């Protein structure tokens, strides 16, 4: 197993809000790394830094040994990113959008057609000739997934990938990711949903208020915390012990 994505002491300030505070971790080849944390913990910000969209205030990101901000083009041509709220071009049809992405990645026409066909069938996508402006959240997410998966990236970054998806598509995504991972792909995904992290990820990093407060496989986290379910671990780490008090006072 080799380290594919390496993040070292990432920090990001927005004005005087510290969104990410010195976070370090790595993602190995052949694993799904889950970034778990409550809303506003800094997951999306970290993902934007990892993918070279946002410069960190401090720290370093390497993908396949290349610095994301020094070799942006090389890195971006081997990664795929699915944002949480895909803001896509309203006035393009899904097909035109895929063509656009395919052109940017200089994909071969035959290969692209083949892949899009397979993936559309898998996700039950039959709306590619409609304008993106008329898509629902889940439809946009599926389109974005197709545009990323069709080009077989070596590293995948997914931000809350299952939020907009129906149950069947979520299941298919899970199986697909597992298949790619077995072929050596590295996956970094964020989620605020415990079950997802539990079921999909090989290793989990728990982030709260911009800090990575625990990391490891499910077993490691369990032995570290001494409790049974991940829910308890998660709530304990992110300060959920007073939940009963809170609910009672309402």
Partner 1 sequence: MTITKELWILLKYKFLMWSNIPKRRRKRSIPSWLYVLIVLAVIVSFGLPTYFLMLKMIASYVQISLGGIDLASLFLEISLLGILGLIVLIDTPAVTLNVFMSDDVGFLLTLPLSQSAIFYSKMIETLVEGTFPALLFIPLLLAYGNVVGMAWYTFIFVFIMYAFYVLFCAGISGLLSLVISKFASKSGMRRFMMLSSMATMILAYFMMNIISMPSFSSQNMQSALNAYVSKVNFFLWPSTWFLSSIRGNLLGMFALIGIASGTFALSYYIASKNVLSGFSNVISAARKKRGKEKYRTHGIFGALMVKEFRAFRREPSIMFFLVYPVIFPLFIILTSSHRKPETLLMGELTGIFMASMYIILAMASLVSIDVRVGWILKTMPVKETKPLWAKAFVVTGSFIVVIASVFLTFSVFFGGFLSTVLVVLLSIPIFLLLSFFGVYAVTKWPNPSGGTKRSLSTTGSLISMPMGFIGAACVGAQSFYFLSNGKVWHFSLLISTLLFMILPFAIEFALMIFVKRMISRIDWSEPFENRVS
Ligand X SMILES: Nc1ncnc2c1ncn2[C@@H]1O[C@H](COP(=O)(O)OP(=O)(O)O)[C@@H](O)[C@H]1O
Name the site residues for partner 1 (rule: CB under 8 A).
14-17, 48, 51-55, 69, 72-77, 79, 81, 83, 86-93, 96, 100-101, 103-106, 131, 133-134
Taking alpha carbons only, the member of 128, 200, 205 closest to residue 170 is: 200
User: Is position 43 an interface residue for ligand X (rule: CB under 6 A)?
Assistant: yes
User: Is position 14 an interface residue for ligand X (rule: CB under 6 A)?
Assistant: yes
CA dist 10 and 25 (Å) reads 9
- Give, as one character, the DSSP assignment of residue 247: H
The answer to whether the beta carbons of residues 130 and 18 sit under 8 Å apart is no
Shorter beta-carbon distance to partner 1: residue 99 or 232: 99
CB of 86 to ligand X, least distance (A): 15
The answer to whether the beta carbons of residues 164 and 138 sit under 8 Å apart is yes
Out of partner 1, ligand X, Mg ion, none, which partner does residue 42 contact, by CB within 5 to 8 A per kind?
Answer: ligand X
Q: Could you tell me how many residues make up the chain?
A: 250
From 39-47, 58-66, 100-108, 145-153, give the range in contact with ligand X by CB under 6 A. Answer: 39-47
Cα torsion at 194, 199, 201, 206 (round to 10°)?
A: 20
CB of 143 to partner 1, least distance (A): 12
The answer to whether the beta carbons of residues 30 and 85 sit under 8 Å apart is no
User: Is position 17 an interface residue for ligand X (rule: CB under 6 A)?
Assistant: yes
- Binding positions for ligand X, rule: CB under 6 A: 14, 17, 19, 37, 39-45
């Amino acid at each position: 197993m080799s380290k594919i994505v390496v993040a070292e002491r990432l920090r990001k300030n927005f004005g005087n809000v510290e969104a990410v505070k010195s976070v370090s971790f790595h993602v190995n080849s052949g694993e799904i790394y889950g970034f778990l944390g409550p809303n506003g913990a800094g997951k999306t910000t970290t993902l934007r830094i990892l993918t070279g969209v946002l410069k960190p205030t401090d720290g370093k990101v390497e993908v396949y040994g290349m610095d994301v901000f020094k070799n942006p083009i090389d890195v971006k041509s081997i990664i795929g990113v699915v944002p949480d709220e895909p803001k896509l071009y309203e006035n393009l049809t899904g097909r035109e959008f895929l063509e656009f992405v395919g052109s940017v990645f200089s994909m071969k026409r035959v290969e692209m057609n083949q892949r899009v066909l397979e993936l559309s069938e898998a996700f039950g996508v039959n709306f590619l000739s409609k304008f993106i402006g008329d898509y629902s959240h889940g439809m946009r997410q599926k389109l974005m997934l197709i545009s990323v998966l069709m080009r077989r990236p070596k590293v995948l970054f997914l931000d809350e990938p299952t939020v907009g998806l129906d149950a069947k598509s979520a299941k298919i995504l899970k199986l697909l990711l597992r298949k790619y991972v077995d072929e050596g792909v590295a996956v970094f995904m964020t989620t605020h949903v415990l079950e997802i992290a539990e079921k999909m990820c090989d290793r989990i990093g728990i982030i709260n208020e911009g800090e990575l407060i625990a990391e490891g496989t499910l077993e490691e986290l369990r032995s570290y915390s001494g409790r049974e379910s991940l829910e308890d671990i998660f709530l304990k780490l992110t300060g959920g012990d007073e939940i009963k008090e809170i609910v009672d006072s309402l």
